[in-house]
């Protein structure tokens, strides 16, 4: 396959055939969703019975979610090794599920510290999610850093009382949006000036 004299129809056939080959090259095994579907179903049902039969110690079943992280990591590494290409969907779903997983972990930590009433920390945690996903998918490092800082401020703010969490919120907004926004705007102006 390397003829230079081929028709436009043949060109289109090559393009169509290659794009089709990528589409049929990989299918998700579904093992991850099955694992988490089972774990969360079991934990939720056991929690229901823990509440009904007044056995608070049964709520410890949720520790199973921590145990399930181990096979999930093994599955992810195995699937990554077997896959010879990375799709755009992989990047998006990787960013979404990683930020989701980390957020769940932080919420559990805050709940265990008995500080879930510091609502601003939850808001900062949520600020971080789309910021990191956008930075990850669009390859904007300042947004990734800003999103991580949001999470750092979210965790830090649970150790102080109102009104100080609002100052952490201001710092989150500066780190997640204002600074990346200014950097993007500077880059945009520079590109615009170069293209004039």
Partner 1 sequence: MFKELDPILHSQLRLAVMSLLISVREAEFTFLKEKTNATAGNLSVQINKLKDAGYIDVLKQFKDNYPQTICKITLKGVDAFELYVKALQSYMAPNTQ
Q: How far apart are CA 94 and CA 89, in angstroms?
A: 8
Contacts of 125 (CB under 8 A, 6+ apart): 103, 106, 107, 150, 151, 154
Residue 85 lies near partner 1 (rule: CB under 8 A): yes
Q: How far apart are CA 21 and CA 154, in angstroms?
A: 44
91, 148, 173, 183: which one contacts partner 1 (CB under 8 A)? 91
Residue 4 lies near partner 1 (rule: CB under 8 A): yes
Residue 192 lies near partner 1 (rule: CB under 8 A): no
Total residues contacting partner 1 by CB under 8 A comes to 27
Nearer to partner 1, 55 or 83 (CB): 83
Stretch that binds partner 1, among 22-30, 52-60, 152-160, 163-171 (CB under 8 A): 22-30
Nearer to partner 1, 19 or 196 (CB): 19
| Whether the Cβ atoms of residue 161 and residue 119 lie closer than 8 Å to each other | no
79, 90, 117, 171: which one contacts partner 1 (CB under 8 A)? 90
Residue 82 lies near partner 1 (rule: CB under 8 A): no
Contacts of 167 (CB under 8 A, 6+ apart): none
- 88-98 exposure pattern, b = at least 16 Cβ within 10 A, e = fewer: eeeeeebbbee
Nearer to partner 1, 18 or 38 (CB): 18
Which of 157, 87, 152 is CA-nearest to residue 121? 157
Q: How far apart are CA 38 and CA 68, in angstroms?
A: 10
DSSP 103-141: HHHHHHHHHHTT-TT-HHHHHHHHHHHHHHHHHHHHT-H
Nearer to partner 1, 91 or 171 (CB): 91
Stretch that binds partner 1, among 1-9, 60-68, 142-150, 188-196 (CB under 8 A): 1-9
Minimum CB distance to partner 1, residue 82 (Å): 11
Q: Which positions from 125 to 154 touch partner 1 by CB under 8 A, shown as an x/- string?
A: ------------------------------
- Residue numbers at the binding site for partner 1 (CB under 8 A): 1-4, 6, 8-12, 14-15, 17-19, 21-23, 25, 81, 84-88, 90-91
């Amino acid at each position: 396959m390397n003829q230079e004299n081929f028709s436009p129809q043949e060109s289109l056939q090559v393009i169509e055939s290659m794009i089709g080959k990528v589409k049929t090259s990989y299918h998700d095994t579904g093992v991850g969703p099955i694992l988490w579907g089972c774990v969360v179903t079991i934990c939720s049902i056991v929690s229901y019975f823990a509440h009904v039969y007044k056995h608070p110690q049964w709520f410890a079943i949720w520790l199973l979610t921590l145990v399930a992280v181990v096979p999930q990591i093994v599955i992810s590494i195995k699937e990554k090794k077997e896959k010879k290409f990375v799709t755009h969907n992989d990047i998006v779903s990787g960013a979404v599920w990683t930020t989701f997983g980390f957020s769940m972990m932080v919420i559990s930590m805050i709940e265990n510290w008995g500080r879930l009433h510091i609502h601003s920390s939850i808001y900062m945690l949520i600020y971080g999610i789309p910021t990191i996903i956008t930075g990850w998918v669009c390859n904007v490092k300042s947004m990734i850093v800003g999103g991580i800082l949001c999470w750092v401020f979210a965790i830090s703010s649970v150790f102080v009382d109102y009104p100080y969490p609002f100052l952490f919120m201001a710092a989150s907004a500066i780190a997640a949006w204002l600074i990346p926004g200014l950097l993007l705007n500077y880059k945009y102006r520079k590109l615009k000036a170069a293209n004039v």
